[in-house]
Structure 1
Amino acid sequence: MAVAGIPFEATLVFGLIGVALVLFVSEVIPNDVTAIGVIVALAALGPTIGLTPRDAIAGFANPATITIVAMYMLSAGIQNTGIVQRLGVSLAGFVRGDEGRALLATVGTTGPIAGFVNNTPVVAVFIPMITDLAEQSDVSPSKLLLPLSYAAILGGTLTLVGTSTNILASDFTRQLIPGRNGIGMFEFTPLGVLILVVGLAYLLTIGRRLTPARIPVDADLVSAFDLEEHLSQVRVPAGSSLLDERVADVDAREDVPVDVLQLRRNGEAYAVPDTDQRIAAGDVLVVNGPRTDVTRFRDAFDLRRLVREDVSDGTFDDSPTGNTLATAVVPDDSTYVGETLAEARLEEFHRTTVLAVRRGRELIRGDLDSVTVSPGDLLLVRLSPTAIEYFAESGDLVVTEESASGRIDEVEPQAAAPLSPKTPLAVAIMASVIGAAALNLLPIVIAALGGVFAMIVTGCLSPSDAYDAVSWNIVFLLAGVIPLGFAMEATGGATVLADALVATEAFLPLVLVMLLFYLFTGLLANVITPVATIVLMIPVAVDAAGQMGADPFSFLLAVMFASATSFMTPVGYQTNLMVYGPGGYRFSDFLKVGGPLQLLLAVVTTVGIATMWGLT
């Protein structure tokens, strides 16, 4: 049975893909949850489309999935050495306050590192450092953060372990192309180096001019979040009913309509709820809330507003407990994603108060407890050094900018980022993994798992750190979309799409057919994530190449590179989402800067593949 010439089984799979694409784009539910739904749907449709329940869950046992889990863990082991942090701190000495040097340092270090260490944690570590470099260089952080993300994406094209899409492509190569046992560790490195060089040259010239300065150079965090009308200081007179109450208890009272952030007395500041100070006459309370709520608070407790005392970043920097104002990005794999701020209980567990949330161009300053946390949200928080350390270890929030003094150029690199005693051992283990895979001594999945085992037993990585390092949402996304790609191949869906591509060969040379395929794949990756794109498009590419008499490996490489280089949307790549808030970018900024870069690399990569591997 066929529908419009398409096998009925393939029609069902296309319908499932269509639903999945809508959910991926709309993000009505998280993408990893959509992937789980795909697994369930494939199992339910199994008798009709020829898949068993074992086939539906095969993505969990796929070598690519296991390899990616292991690489997350190995990257954490390298991160724990302090090498990346030390390098970031050392950049200050090179920059010496020059904007051009700051941009060169940003892209010139991030790109090569991302070829061997997962680029997401690299960007997480570099965001606060690059923000500091921007301040020292008297340049808007917006001018550096987007290039930071793009350079990390470019670096992923250098080696097989540079990004998860490369590992997936290698596994598809083994399964779909007879006679090939995957892709070698450095097999496409020459083309990756060319892409990196061209991409960095663009970022240092044309991209530098196109990248907007959305965040002012001397931006005050209070001003940046338009909180001048929400933060106020009120004085407690002798007749107030709050006298002798613990200030933390006042903040917790249900009849207090504002958040009490700080008690100030005789030049000293006491952060709430970290203090047990009792309110005395003459004390000043720093509170957060709309003006109407502040007025209600004053009237209810006989307080006086200090009209000439504005609240700024510096108001929070002189607390003896070290509490400060900062911004923090919510990464894609944060445990807080999907929870409301009330459910996250940041203040209760981590003494962290959220004052505002920036989501794209939307700024949320009221009713914060009901705000559901989303990936890429930029939070304005008041937090302690202990909380900063906790979030640095857990990765649930990436603290990107602190208002407190003490920037990275004021300390020696060795003191700011000491190396672990295990550093030589961890580096040797990582080098052994890469070497074993490059020399074909072991399959990459076994070499990576062996490296994880070695790091744990030698103490370079604790088991808990290893599990915490894995982006489990990505793992479930992989496990869901991998069998979807196989279903499309098994039901003839890939052949149907390939036929449409083959039809263009009648009026286009083969190299332009590949270029069109590259462009279409790249556009798809910017919308539904690179992982989902590569799973859906590689079977189509291999099938089409076979029908045209072209080299299937060349077309597979085109899909791999197109999927790995998503520059045009903030959701196209996780690192884009991470810099979206801290850079104050608009959606259109990614199109403006990333669009020409994606088009340029489409031409460079297509010509490079045709030259290095041939088309037939």
Structure 2
Amino acid sequence: MSWQAWATVAIIVGAMALFASEKVRIDLVALLVLATLVVLHIVTPEEALSGFSNEATVTVAAMFALSLGIERSGALEPLTRLLMRIRKPWLMTLAMMLAIAPLGAFVKNIALVATFLPLALRVCQRTGTSPARVLMPMAYAAQMGGVCTLIGTSSNLLADSLAQKHGLPPFGVFEFTKMGALLAVAGMAYLMLIGRRLLPKHIDAALPEGGEVGKYVTELVVGEDSPLLGTRIADAQLGDKYGVYPLELLRGERRMWSPREQQLALGDVLLVRGDWEKIEDFQRRARLRNAPEQHYAREDDHPRVLAELMVAPGSPAEGRRLAELGLDWRYRATVLAVHRRGQVLRDKLSNIDLTVGDVLLALVDEGGMPKLRTDDAFIVLSERDDARGSMRKAWVAAAIMAAVVIASGLHWLPIPIAALCGATAMALTGCFGRKDIYEGMDWKIIILLGAILPLGLAIEKTGLSTVVVQGAMGLVGNHGPLAALLMVYLLTALLTELMGHNPSVVLMVSIAVTVAHAAHADPRPFVVAVAFAAATSFATPVGYPTNTMVYYAGGYRFTDFMKVGIPLIALFCALSMWLIPQLWPFHP
């Protein structure tokens, strides 16, 4: 191999390590890959920028806008109200999957799960069921639905775009539907009959009676009228009397050593942990003040709502501190406490760097809740019920989405043009606000797509794809195109679990096409295998964003995804090996 090929291998290995570690944002990893390819003269500057004008990148951006219009117009509200009537957990699981899978074919999966997640949590709380019994099947159903159409997930669009660059004819909007629907039915049957038996029955993260997600950490200030003034923390026996546990004692800017032996003084800040109801009871009986609420006290008498907000995957709040988010002036919200799964926080709330899955307990002005619900940085887990949008806008958004699907499905317009026209129509009809389109756009995914696409070009230019295929075909031997198809599917599935679905598509489409030529078969079934394997990532909580969302909210362990997801991947793989050659023959 040439030095450029070896350099490309090193870049791929480094990118995989960074993607898997999650220590660097995915868009930054992609930009790092792009910059390295240009600096080493593996791709030209024109080739490096070609990903940002690629049809897949433009279409994904437009589909994000369409999905945003569906979500924020309230088009899903009638369905959520209907699902709220269900009382039995197993029926809720089935109903969620049946509702989400068809919607996932047209609406962004993350938006779907974010919409239905609070509903699922409320039903679980009402029925005394662990959220772990419902949330994972819900996330899987979103992926099953997304693969049913060309526009259902970004990896499908990406696979189609890359396949066209290899001279293959474009896939139709509904060309994946037959196979996707059969896999979805089989997958839901597996989850209801077998998968539910593998899910944890009792889990620490299940919602307690009061509705809080877990034990919160908050700051309480000792005032002059507190009976704890002058007493030692150890003597106060907070755990025995109140069910609240002191973590730290902060005096001014100092963190006191051996806080249990310290006498409480006026103005001391106690960092305590416990269920929110017990913290409130302790605060009332000990006549303490909540430090954040005192700091941001309002002089008006506007009604306020106590809301639980989870930091969403890909949120701009990730890695930032509360003061940097501007919640107080954007939504007139005061964060009272923070809960982090599997970790006891020991810093002042203002010093905590937020991470995905953190749950904030916030006091929010009632008028700020509608805008907060539309902020993609957070998922509102619980709050006072309120109507979302008008039915007129909901019908308009649904009609525009249907028009986009029909126009692209009947080939009246190319998919990117139809999606852009639909996004413009939604903006003009007020399905989302003027700034919503920019605030709600998942820029990380768009940057990822634009920056990672030239890596596929580098794999071809350096001859790396040919070397990989020669080695792979040596392993497959003379067992025919079906064995080669199985190898492509399994390799794509493995890469997806390690580095995410879009980068794995970029790496595998070129390899899949070359494998097909080496096996003397039509490349289209091999591209389909890449698309389906990449869009159905079930074995880890990091392979797909919807998995990450329910991982934190459901309190799962990493191994829970492996127990349920690996057999499901095996089922999908076996069915795909049967269905793909029938629907896309090796020798048409």
TM-score range, shorter chain: 0.7 to 0.9
TM-score by length of 2: 0.85
Partner residue of 1:575 out of 535, 546, 549: 546
Take 1:401 and 1:567, find their aligned partners in 2: how far apart are those partners? 27
Q: 1:7–1:310: structure 2 CA closer, same or farther, 3 Å change rule?
A: closer
Q: Which amino acid aligns with 1:111?
A: A
SS in structure 1 at match of 2:359? strand
Partner residue of 2:179 out of 176, 185, 191: 191
Describe how 1:537-548 pairs up with structure 2 within 5 A.
537-548=508-519
Q: Which runs of 4+ in 1 moved over 6 A?
A: 230-235, 238-242, 285-288, 294-298, 316-321
Q: 1:313–1:165: structure 2 CA closer, same or farther, 3 Å change rule?
A: farther
Which stretch shifts more, 331-340 or 538-547? Answer: 331-340
Take 1:234 and 1:476, find their aligned partners in 2: how far apart are those partners? 48
SS in structure 2 at match of 1:567? coil
| Residues 541 and 552 in structure 1, CA contact (< 8 A), matched pair in contact too | yes
1:499 is matched with 470
Corresponding pairs, count: 547
| Residues 568 and 591 in structure 1, CA contact (< 8 A), matched pair in contact too | yes
Report percent identity of matched pairs. Answer: 34
Q: 1:141–1:388: structure 2 CA closer, same or farther, 3 Å change rule?
A: farther
Q: 1:446–1:238: structure 2 CA closer, same or farther, 3 Å change rule?
A: closer
Q: Which amino acid aligns with 2:76?
A: V
Describe how 1:139-288 pairs up with structure 2 within 5 A.
139-178=129-168, 180=169, 182-212=170-200, 213-215=202-204, 219-220=208-209, 225-227=214-216, 237=225
State the Cα distance separating 1:444 from its structure 2 match: 0.5
Partner residue of 1:70 out of 62, 69, 88: 62
State the Cα distance separating 1:431 from its structure 2 match: 1.2
1:34 is matched with 29
Deviations 1:209-266 (A, max 9, x none): 11113246562579863459x7879785399999xxxxxxxxxxxxxx9xxxxxxxxx
Deviations 1:57-100 (A, max 9, x none): 1111111000000000011111122121321121122x1x2122
Take 2:368 and 2:262, find their aligned partners in 1: how far apart are those partners? 29
State the Cα distance separating 1:586 from its structure 2 match: 1.0
Take 1:131 and 1:354, find their aligned partners in 2: how far apart are those partners? 21
SS in structure 1 at match of 2:40? helix
Deviations 1:29-83 (A, max 9, x none): 211111111221122122xx3x220111111111100000000001111112212
Unaligned runs of 5+ in 1: 1-5, 243-256, 258-284, 409-414
1:273 is matched with none
SS in structure 2 at match of 1:483? helix
Describe how 1:338-487 pairs up with structure 2 within 5 A.
338-346=319-327, 350-353=332-335, 355-359=337-341, 361-374=342-355, 376-384=356-364, 385-386=366-367, 388-402=369-383, 416-417=387-388, 419-487=390-458
2:237 is matched with none
| Residues 118 and 380 in structure 2, CA contact (< 8 A), matched pair in contact too | yes
Q: Which amino acid aligns with 1:379?
A: V
1:535 aligns with 2:527: no
1:268 is matched with none
Q: Which amino acid aligns with 2:343?
A: E
2:75 is matched with 83
1:25 aligns with 2:20: yes
Take 1:238 and 1:503, find their aligned partners in 2: how far apart are those partners? 78
Q: Which amino acid aligns with 1:598?
A: I
SS in structure 2 at match of 1:352? strand
SS in structure 2 at match of 1:57? helix
Unaligned runs of 5+ in 2: 234-241, 251-258, 285-292, 294-300
State the Cα distance separating 1:200 from its structure 2 match: 0.9
| Residues 521 and 563 in structure 1, CA contact (< 8 A), matched pair in contact too | yes
Which stretch shifts more, 161-170 or 495-504? Answer: 495-504
Which stretch shifts more, 470-479 or 460-469? Answer: 460-469
Q: Which amino acid aligns with 1:18?
A: V
Q: 1:521–1:134: structure 2 CA closer, same or farther, 3 Å change rule?
A: same
Take 1:321 and 1:214, find their aligned partners in 2: how far apart are those partners? 38
SS in structure 1 at match of 2:538? coil
Q: Which amino acid aligns with 1:214?
A: I
| Residues 51 and 453 in structure 2, CA contact (< 8 A), matched pair in contact too | yes
TM-score by length of 1: 0.81
Q: Which amino acid aligns with 2:313?
A: D
Q: 1:540–1:141: structure 2 CA closer, same or farther, 3 Å change rule?
A: same
| Residues 59 and 482 in structure 1, CA contact (< 8 A), matched pair in contact too | yes
Q: Which amino acid aligns with 1:115?
A: A
State the Cα distance separating 1:202 from its structure 2 match: 1.2
State the Cα distance separating 1:492 from its structure 2 match: 1.0
Take 1:337 and 1:420, find their aligned partners in 2: how far apart are those partners? 34
SS in structure 2 at match of 1:355? strand
State the Cα distance separating 1:289 from its structure 2 match: 5.6
State the Cα distance separating 1:534 from its structure 2 match: 0.3
Deviations 1:313-345 (A, max 9, x none): 694999986656554322233221232345335
Q: Which amino acid aligns with 1:290?
A: L
Q: Which amino acid aligns with 1:299?
A: L
Take 2:377 and 2:199, find their aligned partners in 1: how far apart are those partners? 28
Q: 1:497–1:221: structure 2 CA closer, same or farther, 3 Å change rule?
A: farther
Q: 1:43–1:226: structure 2 CA closer, same or farther, 3 Å change rule?
A: same
Q: 1:599–1:76: structure 2 CA closer, same or farther, 3 Å change rule?
A: same
Take 2:193 and 2:199, find their aligned partners in 1: how far apart are those partners? 10
